[in-house]
Amino acid sequence: MCHTCIEIENLKKQVASIRQELTETVRLFIELKEGPTRKTIYSVKEAAAMLGKSAYTVSEWCRQGKLAASRSGKEGMYFITSDTISNFTRKQ
């Protein structure tokens, strides 16, 4: 490969890297300007981390009705809303 071709390939890599950094910078700017987007539905694992409990405990709470949750299918995963988590932590 010729020297010029190598330089062109290196420049292409640099441009791709700069484009990626710029995209992330714009995303962060928008988040700062508008505030972070708030996730509204969490998995058992995510809810457990937020509540400081194990995923097993949170899953059992869902199964027992102690923590309101939706389920995907008869034996699918539980999903917990952010409002449910907020209300649950206030009651604790």
Give one DSSP letter per residue of 11-37, joined into a string.
HHHHHHHHHHHHHHHHHHHHHHHH-PP
Q: What is the pTM of this model?
A: 0.57
Give ∠ CA 17-21-22 in degrees, rounded to 5: 115
75-85 pLDDT, tens digit each: 778 999 999 99
What residue ranges do the domains of the chain occupy? 1-37, 41-91
20-60 pLDDT, tens digit each: 888 888 877 776 777 666 778 899 999 999 999 999 999 99
41-91: CATH class? mainly alpha
User: Which two tokens mark 44?
Assistant: 């058992």
User: Which two tokens mark 70?
Assistant: 């939706």
